[in-house]
Amino acid sequence: ESPNHNTEVKLQKICHLLDQEIPYFNWTGFYFRNGHKEELILGPYVGAETDHTVIPFGKGICGQVAVSNETFVVPDVHAQENYLSCSIATKAEIVVPIIKDGNNIGQIDIDSHELDPFTAEDREMLEWLCDEIAKIM
């Protein structure tokens, strides 16, 4: 389900904050499930424009998280076969699902221009953040 306008504004601010505070977060954005369809729609983001505004379930890292319901940390995107490239500068990616009332409603997606940059603390922080976001969705 897509966020309402107020929530979108908050999510946009979260993207800006993460982008400003963490130097190796080089594309920070949200994808949400498109109603009951098995596809994700791009939500608020900060970073380069992407061609991937709609992602079918199962495709790429994001599409895999839409079905696995688990955080996916990719230290090296070039080692992934099922990966959708947004920018040639991207070397690593982390995607964390947003689970509301047991349903996977969307995700935060972060790309990095560095190889293997994401720490256990990043993952914990993002998982906490997605739990908080679920409460306002």
Interacting residues toward ligand SME by CB under 6 A: 27, 50, 52, 55, 60-63, 83-84, 86, 93, 109, 111
- Measured from the CB of residue 33, what is the shortest distance to ligand SME in angstroms? 14
Q: How far apart are CA 58 and CA 39, in angstroms?
A: 9
CA 16 to chain centre: 14
Cβ distance to ligand SME smaller for residue 56 or 135: 56
- Measured from the CB of residue 35, what is the shortest distance to ligand SME in angstroms? 20
Cβ distance to ligand SME smaller for residue 6 or 106: 106
- Measured from the CB of residue 26, what is the shortest distance to ligand SME in angstroms? 10
Q: How far apart are CA 128 and CA 18, in angstroms?
A: 14
Cβ distance to ligand SME smaller for residue 18 or 62: 62
